Structure 1
Amino acid sequence: MTRSPDWVPPGTDDTVPSAARIYDYMLGGGHNFAVDREAATKAERIMPHARGVARLNRAFLRRAVRFMVDQGVRQFLDIGSGVPTVGNVHEIAQEADPECRVVYVDHDPVAVAHSRLILDGNDRTTALKADARDPSRILGDSQLRRQLDLDEPIGMLFLCMLHWLPDESDPGGLMRHYIDAMASESYLAITHITEDYLPYQVREALRIATRGGDQVTSRPYDEVLTMFGDLELLEPGLVGCGTWRPAGPGDIAEDPTLNQVLYAGMARKS
């Protein structure tokens, strides 16, 4: 009988692929199972540059966090954080200012367990296991409240997360709860998958990658835009992930179409 690695919580089903672990694999992480790697490989046959899209999202995360830090934000809430592979929010923010505080939230037990493992000893970070569809539970959590002061500006991130919420979950309504909890001078960053540019490839890749798990609801431009509510969208607006303020060649794909698989944007609360 094979012993599970220490980072695998008891009772974890390693026969069903997990979006968080597939993403970890595509970013070169080591916290995934054979079923996740198999799903990723099949998805890449349909959409050969899927890894590139994952890296574009991670590059946007880096730019977004650095931008927020430059604006004076020193606390961050990452909803749907996944497995915190290299280059995640706390590393970027605390490299700029060690005083930055970060709370990660995910419903995947493996993602949360590994987060707690690597964050052990970092008293300015916390990982919560919670469902994004329960904003009252998350925002009222005692661990979050010890780490973050919601009366002060916050950087809130929903990266590759909102497309996991079906329309019946009313993601726009959920976002209003989170936006209402943000203090003035806070920032909200969102990335969201779309079929506006590569409908067949995106649809088929997602079908394979989410086999046996939650399904993805890709959305067109106008629907993603509503997720920001009435916040002030920063330039260049809601655009392809790779084209949101790229800082270098690694931030943008050589194939311009791939830059459009994910929409990305950031907004500020006045």
Structure 2
Amino acid sequence: MLKALMKTMRPRQWTKNAFVLAAVVFDQQLFNPAAILRSFGAFFVFCLLSGTVYILNDIIDVEADRQHPKKRLRPIPSGKLPIRAAVAAAVVILLLTFPLAFWLSPGLGIISLVYFLINIAYSNWLKHMPLIDVLTIAAGFVLRVAAGVSVIEVQRFSPWLYVVTTLFALYLGFGKRRAELTTLAETAGSHRRVLDGYTLPFLDQLITIVSSTTLIAYSLYTFSAPNLPDNHTMMLTIPFVMYGIFRYLYLIYVKEEGGAPEELLLTDRPLQATIALFALTVLIIFYWF
């Protein structure tokens, strides 16, 4: 049953919580042990929170998931994890997570509570509302970044990164909806009601807008944000961001993938390479020059 519980909590999707670590990296505090420990504490809190949200989401959607070709194999829809046991596990995890969050930082505690409540609202209502569903997902990413900021003494972190995070999350969210609409075709609405509110041309327009503005916003950050190196070397990271955006577009439109961006992150080698090179370049610029 423990294995089924862990599977329901979807550890593979916890990669999204890496956004919590953005603050300690971009605030140039990687050599500050206290900041590192507190940041990883916040990361752990969000892993527990997101895992609990997945448990509750599967409980809420159990009947719909049993009709889905893939989701019916999940532990709760398949019966491998009884609903009563799942509810008990979710309650216990939350009773441990929220005190930990408030202990690390009152700000983290409040952000964690807001994140949890937004996700409960998403699971029950917001995910059925076109546009609002993806905006809610983007809010979750911004809250992750804010959580990382809340546990350290910020010195150089730029508000531009909140803008970039929002746009990038919208880009992934609309890409995910397009991939789902393409994969499920005529039965899309029966598997995810919100897909009835989208069309491929509409999603293509949205993806074009947010992909372009993400690249523009990040470029503006690299040469206009305060406390960056005076020689504007952060502009050297723009090609990696550009390639990453283009690569995801390629996977969506050519390979017809993208229904699970976190899976692509763990399986697509070119995407992994550009992320690794981006991270290495940022570290060199921040901590070498």
TM-score in terms of structure 2 length: 0.26
Higher strand share: 1
Larger Rg: 2
Higher helix share: 2
Query: Which fold has the larger relative contact order, with Cα–Cα distance below 8 Å and residues 6 or more apart in sequence?
Result: 1
